[in-house]
A and B are shown apart, each in its own frame.
Chain A
Amino acid sequence: MNIEVKHIKKAYGKKQVLQDISLTANGGECIGILGSNGCGKSTLLSILAGVQKADSGTFLCDGADLFLNPRRRETLVGYVPQGTPLIEELSAWDNLRLWYEKGALEKSLEDGVLATLGVSEFLRVPVFKMSGGMRKRLSIGCAMAKQPPVLLLDEPTAALDLVCKARIADYLRSFREKGGILLMTTHDVQELSLCDRHYIMRDGVLERFQYTGNVQELVCKL
């Protein structure tokens, strides 16, 4: 399994948000994209997830263009957007039912992704009563309903406490070890340690850099 993002361009009016973005990733790889607010990181993920269309470019998965085959993209690509992609008034169970068939949901809760994420601990709790960590775990659980091999994460642990971050990081590590491809945007240096490759997005251009653990150096590059 591998993905190839080729020459993606996107403009909002006259403002060119993404300029010829290209990258590749193989199974078991995690790619981290950093950048200041508004630099185009989330736009890139939303384009890859199919929320909006690129002006040009392709998104290939094992050679198949996912922009041209949305059905295939839905099964191959999971997407966890920024914020809470959940229905506030309903319980975790109800939210999961939106994405899972009943049998698959029960199985996943028993020994699948949802079990790993510990969603069964708060299955009947309405979303508005959940902590940030619960919400994020549930969001990832929803994104993983079709067990996609590619997971796009838009700042997955933003505003979470350390325990929650660690729990989510554990899950992401296990996902990667099973051959999944992770593509995440982040501002968090802890998340960067999860990633095999790092990119900085500046003015719509993606630049590769090697994160050595030196935050000061990273800040200078941003």
Chain B
Amino acid sequence: MRKYFLLQCKRVLRILPFVLAVTAMLFGALSGAFLAVKQLSEDTDSHNKFKVGVVGNAGDTYLQMGLAALQSMDSSRFSVELQMMTQQEATAALSGGKIVAYVSVPDDFLQEAFYGNIIPLQFVVRGSAGGLVTILKDEITGAVEILLLETQRGIYGVGDALENAGYGNLSGTHINKISLKYVEFVLDRGKVYATEELGISDGLGLEGYLLCGLSAIMLFLACMPFAPLQIQSDQALRRLLASRGVGAGKQITCEFTSYLLGLLVLVLPVLWAVSSTGVLQDYSVTGQDTLQVLPVLLMVAAFSFFLYELVRDYVSGVLVQFFAAVFLCFFSGCIFPVYTLPKSVQIVADLLPAGAARRQLAQCLTDQQSLAPLMLLLCYTAVLLAGAVLLRKKRMENVRG
């Protein structure tokens, strides 16, 4: 049995360069996917804001101040981001897709508005803007309300107050500064609340959740390059081993242990890199945290062992492994957050092998510790290995001739 184990280790070592190459490709692809999702997540705020150009008299103090107030304060108020630009810049930006629309403010718009005469703003969009126009019109109306009412009222109000208090000699610049401060206090409602994110699941935000989900997929798929080692269409060696007292159980034990060591050689450097380089900036992952991955590795290795006992050739083995891993990961919420899945699936998602793996991996990133995923993983490992032993025994005994 010891010799068989050592030979299995030798086989794993032989195939390791190939496995490393395939795993590096997989890792690269999944890292790319993760970074793309992370980038998307980081850009969510700016993506949600529509950039709108404002074309008008750049020398108009009120227009400038109103825009400054809108741009620098109360980011929660609007879903549009206003940018002052010239007519030419606005036209070019709209054509290039950098802004979704621009508003042309007539030169005497504010003056006339002050006297109650509303001159319509010219709102320019591309033909494809569709229903966005309605949203933007609402937003612009809100912006104009701020520009006209809050800014002018504030500035004039403060000026009058200072005049009445005997500070009329203060320069316009000072008054403007004070007014801006006032407007900032009034309008910056974003400061009156703090946001606490409960996270998607297991105390993780979208980024951490997806990291765990993609890591689970990665581990499931990392077993694929080992398929040529484990899939045996010819049962002769196994029968010969059985005739020498190395039965299905002992065979699986030797093969599984060497296979697990191979997987560890693949995964440990990544874990070491994660824990020592702090590449996950938002999470502090220690070496001890990374040990949480070991039960997942056990289960994943047992899972592939079980599948490989079901098939008779490499191509079927790789296909079965791939589709089983992807479907399992999908229904366990590793690809999309679990709350996006149907209610009935949500109930079983955490109980499936990939779900338990995802939850166990989540414990690397959070302080939450639960024995439930660990126990589930160990149960799955035992059941899958027992299944693999039974299948092998059955195949060895299935002698035709």
Contact = CB atoms under 8 A, between A and B. Distances in A.
Given A37-B400, A41-B401, A46-B397, A85 B240 contact: yes
Interface stretch (A74-82, A166-174, A176-184): A74-82
Contacts of B49: none
Given A41-B401, A154-B401, A81 B7 contact: no
A85 B245 contact: no
B242 interface: yes
Q: Which of B11, B14, B15, B237 neighbours the largest number of chain A CB atoms within 10 Å of its CB? A: B237
A38 interface: yes
A132 interface: no
Contacts of B243: 46, 49-51, 74, 77, 79, 81
Contacts of B399: 42-43, 46, 51-52
B39 interface: no
Interface string A72-93: 0010010111111111011000
Interface residues on A, range: 35 or more
B189 to A, nearest CB: 68
Contacts of A71: 245
B401 A38 contact: yes
A108 interface: no
B237 A87 contact: yes
B396 to A, nearest CB: 6
B234 interface: yes
B397 A52 contact: yes
Interface residues on B, range: 20 to 34
Contacts of A83: 234-236
B239 interface: yes
Given A41-B401, A51-B397, A155-B401, A94 B7 contact: yes
Dominant SS at the A interface?
A: mixed
A85 B400 contact: no
Contact of B3 (A39, A70, A98): A98
Interface in A74-131: 74, 77, 79-87, 89-90, 94, 97-99
Nearest to A83: B236
A80 B244 CA distance: 12
Nearest to B3: A98
B14 to A, nearest CB: 5
B10 interface: yes
Nearest to B229: A89
A154 B236 CA distance: 10
B109 interface: no
B4 interface: yes
A143 interface: yes
B400 A81 contact: no
B237 A85 contact: yes
A142 interface: yes
Interface string A9-47: 000000000000000000000000000011111110010
B19 to A, nearest CB: 13
Interface in B218-268: 229, 234-237, 239-240, 242-245
A84 B396 contact: no
A34 to B, nearest CB: 11
Nearest to B233: A83
A90 B245 contact: no
Q: Which of B245, B396, B399 neighbours the largest number of chain A CB atoms within 10 Å of its CB? A: B399
17 contacts: A38-B401, A42-B400, A49-B243, A51-B239, A51-B243, A52-B397, A82-B401, A85-B240, A87-B237, A89-B11, A90-B7, A90-B10, A94-B7, A97-B7, A99-B244, A154-B401, A155-B401
Closest 9 CB pairs of A and B: A42-B401, A83-B236, A85-B236, A49-B243, A85-B240, A83-B234, A52-B397, A81-B236, A85-B237
